[in-house]
Structure 1
């Protein structure tokens, strides 16, 4: 595998930014690489970070480079600050960046497939929310999406908007006084809307530890998908909001992906 830090200019953000990229290498030990080429281009996992992290965190806290070596897929890990993968009211347009500019730039630099069946997205915590939001707002882009300990009930957290909490303050920078409920920032609304319109959904994988502070929101999302008759691969098992849990579950996600 090749591990690269790619520094580049974003016209959307109007700033230099970075992404960490893992690319398969054509060696005798890289068994899965040739199996996961489509017209000479790699299948790709976009792997998203959480609230307190950046584009380097998955390689620093897990063995993601070693895990994907068996699959032969590329991994793109972008940097999005505290944006919740949104076009911020008081900040930068990270939704436009992540959903439009980033894939275009990454594919211009590296041989990455643009076919739906070759693209996947996953993330943890804020990134779990981002992964599902990206997949549900762009269902024609991804074959599968995975959320690990995701903030899936973000729209239901609006009632704490006046609390003196750094995450709540960040949410104000992201959304201002705009409501999240029943908008394209609301995962419950997005998935119901796709179901009602009979639009094909990506495969969904959801995991959360039963001791995680986000567990109740994950249970509510699972109940919502069950009520809509949408099948999800769901694991609720012992664990908290920490890297041991995510290191274990990203391996499960890689085995689950439809490669």
Structure 2
């Protein structure tokens, strides 16, 4: 595998930003690891961090590089600060950045496929929300999305973190509107007749976001969305996310052309 840290200037954010990128590599002599790479542009997983973390966290807390090595899958891990992947009321336009500018920048730097069927998104906590937000609002870009312990009902965020809520969303009107509200986004997507990305959702039964996850699961099932839901005893911690990102990688439709 090739691991690259990339610092670049974002026109959307008006500031410098960073991302870590794992690129597939054909190698036969790496100790303890099998690697492969496709001869064409790489299938790509956009892997999103949580509220208290940054683009380095997946490499620091999991073995994501080892997990993807035999899959021939590129992984792009961007930094979005505490933005909830949103155009902030008091801050930068991180939704425009993550949904439009970042994919174009990453593909200009690296041989990444732009085909819908080759692109996937996943994340944990705030990043789980970001993953489903991208999939439901930009279904033409992603074939599949996974949320691990996602903060999927942002209407509860105001009570849980009022200072962050004010900076990010400003008012309850913004949090209850598109593209921020996943319940509205899923209803709009279902009614549109567009292809719906496959969704994978995990949450621990002792997680403080469990009730929010059950609410979204029930909503998605009522709409008939293609959702794979799983839960297990567990809380909001890396021991579970390291395990379940491996389940996500097994679930992704990587063999489909």
TM-score tier (shorter):
over 0.9
Match of 2:164 in 1: 170
Q: Are the equivalent residues in 2 in contact too, given 1:156–1:181 (CA < 8 A)?
A: no
Please say if 1:28 is aligned against 2:28.
yes
**CA distance in structure 2 between the aligned counterparts of 1:250 and 1:31, rounded to whole angstroms:** 18
Q: After superposing the two structures, state which structure 1 stretch, 64-73 or 172-181, moved more.
A: 172-181
Cα offset for 1:23?
0.5
Match of 1:235 in 2: 230
Cα offset for 1:220?
0.7
**CA distance in structure 2 between the aligned counterparts of 1:73 and 1:157, rounded to whole angstroms:** 33
> How many residue pairs end up in the alignment?
249
Q: Are the equivalent residues in 2 in contact too, given 1:20–1:77 (CA < 8 A)?
A: yes
**CA distance in structure 2 between the aligned counterparts of 1:129 and 1:120, rounded to whole angstroms:** 14
**CA distance in structure 2 between the aligned counterparts of 1:79 and 1:157, rounded to whole angstroms:** 21
* Structure 1, unpaired ranges of 5+: none
Please say if 1:257 is aligned against 2:226.
no
**CA distance in structure 1 between the aligned counterparts of 2:75 and 2:226, rounded to whole angstroms:** 26
* Structure 2, unpaired ranges of 5+: none
SS of corresponding position for 1:6:
strand
SS of corresponding position for 2:55:
coil
Match of 2:94 in 1: 94
Cα offset for 1:155?
2.4
Q: Are the equivalent residues in 1 in contact too, given 2:27–2:36 (CA < 8 A)?
A: no
SS of corresponding position for 1:172:
helix
Q: Are the equivalent residues in 2 in contact too, given 1:84–1:126 (CA < 8 A)?
A: yes
Cα offset for 1:197?
1.8
For residues 195-251 of structure 1, give each alpha carbon's deviation from its aligned partner in whole angstroms, at most 9, with x where no partner exists: 122221100000000000000010011111111122311111111000000000000
Task: Give the TM-score taking structure 1 as reference length.
Answer: 0.93
Match of 2:65 in 1: 65
SS of corresponding position for 1:87:
coil
Task: Give the TM-score taking structure 2 as reference length.
Answer: 0.93
Q: How does 1:128-167 map to 2 (within 5 A)?
A: 128-158=128-158, 160=159, 167=161
Match of 2:114 in 1: 114
**CA distance in structure 2 between the aligned counterparts of 1:241 and 1:168, rounded to whole angstroms:** 20
Cα offset for 1:98?
0.6
SS of corresponding position for 2:68:
helix
Q: Are the equivalent residues in 2 in contact too, given 1:155–1:185 (CA < 8 A)?
A: no
**CA distance in structure 1 between the aligned counterparts of 2:151 and 2:25, rounded to whole angstroms:** 35
Q: How does 1:20-59 map to 2 (within 5 A)?
A: 20-28=20-28, 30=34, 32-34=36-38, 40-59=40-59
